[in-house]
């Protein structure tokens, strides 16, 4: 059998037939060389992205310092500024371990379906199909919920700017949905018809968010007065949640951190469109999330010290706490509006790469026969547009349908938006578990390019425990006694996802879902 010196070869070659095949070579626990062939269809995606384009895709998905600013209302009642800071440190530790673990996986087996592929590679044969399928459904749900939450947030931002500009303006429910729908449609159109521009858009998002963050933080430090004391920022805990235990409140306050440091597999979904993904994808994940965590830490400190009127954050202008901070602390309407516009313009542009990553995941997952019309429709690439058109349509239509909750219940809407964190962690838990249980995690003799060494398995175990711990707390109501409008319906959304998963498995995927594994086959090792 053919194998490289480190026990692992990743080669890709296109067959000049009706299909193109991606060849993945690994070593099993028994030292046998295996080959997995994924039938991608007649046409594949072009490699239009460089490493900075992928960084833009990742950063547009999280925008850590600005996303944290939207949770400033938690400074008042859910632990105050100290818990905002300390829970971010606590959460950030586990999030970075998660990012490094996924970077290690990607450095061995880069693949656009990420969790699905890795689960099937390393799970016991009798359980591999269903576990890979379950991980894929949860991953797709996570990204669809995340894309939907992004569009929800953008509609809030746009109408928040409208209120800042015209305080007499009274928004209506359908106004939010129209903005939501417009953003969803524009993101889909850009992904379908302007695919060659998406790397530029992703890089542009990098500049907008990073320079915008620098501008707003410097403006706050220069203009905010009087600034808060160190006691306010680090010791004065405030608990208005109704929960008697501050320990409970501390764990409830992890929500800003797990939302702002999330979607760690985003870069992996761009594997087909990046040169040397085995090296570049782990770089983007490890460096990107480390940088995002550190910048987020600085942002929290600036926000905490620059809060001039904490009570105003409970009823912020336009419903956006960060906008209220600008109004109160910058003492200049023009400057406050400028800072608000940076965010209100940046996030709609950033939503384009979010849909890009979500559609690549869905395309790859559908191509395994996971959903009806998956292989021929949703898993296909339009050769003329070089875009997975039907996967983009699927994601966008799902967003539009979920958005109809605007007219039903704000609590249900928030539950769907917030469920992306729980779905993400539950989806991650499956490949992490199968790796933990393997004697040799990646195969005998395999040394990842991004290597956690002897710490790899302990870190995987810590992450696995964290996934369920964090998921549980994101399902707990933030305020008690619980009312219908204040209830956390995340569990309901997850249960609905579970029902869809099981139903689709027995009605369709059980007969069609397949990732073929051919063992003990000779392959030709091609030079990169």
To the question of pTM greater than 0.85 for the whole model, the response is yes
- Mention the CATH class of domain 9-519: mainly alpha
What does the pLDDT look like over 139-174, one tens digit per residue?
999 999 999 999 999 999 999 999 999 999 998 999
How far apart, in whole angstroms, are the C-alpha atoms of residue 124 and residue 431? Answer: 11
**Domain ranges in the chain?**
9-519
CA–centroid distance for 507 within its chain:
29
Dig out the tokens for 501 from the structure: 């998963």
CA dihedral 145, 148, 154, 157 (to 10 degrees): -60
What is the three-class DSSP state of 68?
helix
Check residue 124 and give left, alpha or beta (phi > 0: left; psi -120 to 50: alpha). Answer: beta
Nearest Cα residue to 276 out of 81, 107, 462, 52: 107
What is the three-class DSSP state of 304?
helix
What does the pLDDT look like over 482-503, one tens digit per residue?
887 778 889 989 999 999 999 9
Token pair 């995927």 is found at: 509
- Does the pLDDT at position 107 exceed 50? yes
- Does the pLDDT at position 250 exceed 50? yes
Confidence of residue 50 (pLDDT cuts 50, 70, 90): confident
Of residues 60 and 263, more confidently modeled: 263
CB 142 within 8 A of CB 490: no
What is the CB neighbour count within 10 angstroms for residue 449? 17
Instruction: Please tell me the total number of residues recorded for the chain in this structure.
Output: 528
- Does the pLDDT at position 9 exceed 80? no
Angle of the 333-366 helix axis to the 115-122 helix axis, nearest 10: 40
- Find all residues with CB under 8 Å of 359, minimum gap 6, and list them: 191, 388, 391, 392, 394, 395
């Amino acid at each position: 059998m053919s194998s490289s010196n480190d026990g692992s070869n990743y080669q890709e070659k296109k067959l000049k037939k009706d299909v193109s095949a991606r060849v993945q070579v690994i070593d099993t626990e028994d030292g046998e060389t295996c080959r997995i062939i994924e039938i991608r269809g007649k046409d594949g995606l072009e490699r239009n992205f460089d490493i900075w384009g992928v960084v833009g895709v990742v950063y547009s998905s999280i925008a850590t310092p600005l996303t944290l600013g939207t949770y400033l209302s938690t400074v008042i009642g859910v632990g105050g500024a100290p818990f905002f800071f300390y829970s971010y440190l606590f959460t950030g530790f586990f999030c970075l371990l998660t990012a490094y673990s996924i970077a290690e996986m990607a450095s061995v087996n880069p693949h656009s379906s990420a969790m699905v592929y890795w689960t099937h590679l390393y799970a016991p044969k009798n359980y591999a199909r269903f576990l890979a399928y379950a991980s894929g459904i949860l991953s797709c749900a996570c990204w669809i919920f995340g894309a939907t939450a992004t569009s929800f947030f953008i509609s809030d931002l746009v109408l928040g700017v409208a209120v800042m500009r015209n305080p007499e303006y009274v928004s209506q429910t359908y106004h939010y949905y129209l903005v939501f729908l417009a953003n969803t449609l524009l993101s889909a159109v850009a992904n379908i018809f302007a695919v060659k521009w998406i790397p530029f858009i992703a890089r542009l998002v990098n500049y907008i968010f990073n320079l915008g963050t620098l501008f707003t933080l410097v403006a706050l430090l220069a203009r905010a007065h009087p600034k808060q004391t160190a006691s306010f920022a680090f010791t004065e805990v405030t608990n208005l949640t109704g929960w008697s235990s501050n320990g409970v409140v501390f764990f409830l306050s992890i929500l800003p951190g797990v939302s702002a440091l999330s979607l760690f597999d985003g870069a992996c979904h761009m594997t087909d469109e990046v040169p040397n993904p085995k090296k570049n994808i782990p770089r983007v994940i490890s460096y990107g999330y480390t940088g995002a965590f550190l910048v987020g830490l600085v942002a929290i400190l600036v926000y905490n010290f620059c809060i001039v009127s904490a009570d105003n954050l409970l009823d912020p202008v336009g419903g956006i706490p960060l906008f209220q901070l600008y109004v109160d602390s910058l003492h200049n309407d023009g400057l406050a509006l400028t800072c608000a516009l940076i965010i209100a313009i940046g996030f709609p542009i950033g939503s384009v790469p979010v849909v890009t990553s979500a559609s690549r995941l869905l395309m790859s997952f559908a191509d395994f026969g996971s959903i009806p019309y998956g292989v021929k429709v949703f898993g296909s690439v339009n050769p003329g547009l070089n875009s997975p058109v039907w996967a983009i349509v699927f994601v966008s239509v799902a967003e539009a349908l979920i958005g109809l909750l605007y007219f039903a219940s704000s609590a249900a809407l928030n539950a769907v938006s917030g469920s992306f964190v729980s779905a993400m962690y539950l989806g991650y838990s499956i490949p992490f578990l199968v790796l933990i249980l393997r004697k040799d995690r990646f195969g005998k003799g395999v040394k990842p390019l991004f290597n956690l060494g002897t710490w790899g398995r302990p870190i995987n175990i810590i992450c696995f425990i964290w996934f369920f711990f964090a998921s549980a707390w994101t399902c707990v109501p933030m305020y008690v006694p619980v009312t219908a409008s204040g209830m956390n319906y995340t569990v309901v959304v997850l249960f609905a996802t579970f029902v869809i998963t099981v139903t689709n498995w027995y009605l369709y995927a059980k007969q069609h879902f397949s990732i073929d594994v051919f063992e003990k086959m000779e392959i030709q090792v091609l030079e990169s």
